[in-house]
């Protein structure tokens, strides 16, 4: 298939393409659970962002765009 132009993708690319963004709230937590459990370094980055991202943004004096979006 590659010889005729197909591109290889990982399961993470497919999963995140199906999820697209946080607007799909019905399955967002299930996607995050999969990422945290099976995605190695990417899962560690997501875990860091969940637990420490807001603190870093607040300390830098920046506005978290998702919090602002959800508040409206």
Q: What is the pLDDT of residues 8-38, one digit of tens each?
A: 889 888 888 888 766 777 888 888 888 888 8
pTM of the model: 0.54
Is-contact 17 11, C-beta < 8 A?
no
Residue 61 Ramachandran class (φ > 0 left, ψ -120 to 50 alpha, else beta) = left
Q: Is 31 exposed, middle or buried (0-12, 13-18, 19+ CB in 10 A)?
A: middle
Is-contact 24 15, C-beta < 8 A?
no
The Cβ of residue 36 has, within 10 Å, a number of other Cβ atoms equal to 14
């Amino acid at each position: 298939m590659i010889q005729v132009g197909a591109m290889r993708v990982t399961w993470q690319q497919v999963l995140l393409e199906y999820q697209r963004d946080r607007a799909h709230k019905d399955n967002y937590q299930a996607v995050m659970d999969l990422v945290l459990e099976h995605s190695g370094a990417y899962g560690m980055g997501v875990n860091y962002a969940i637990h420490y991202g807001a603190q870093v943004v607040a300390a830098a004096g920046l506005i978290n765009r998702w919090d602002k979006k959800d508040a409206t």
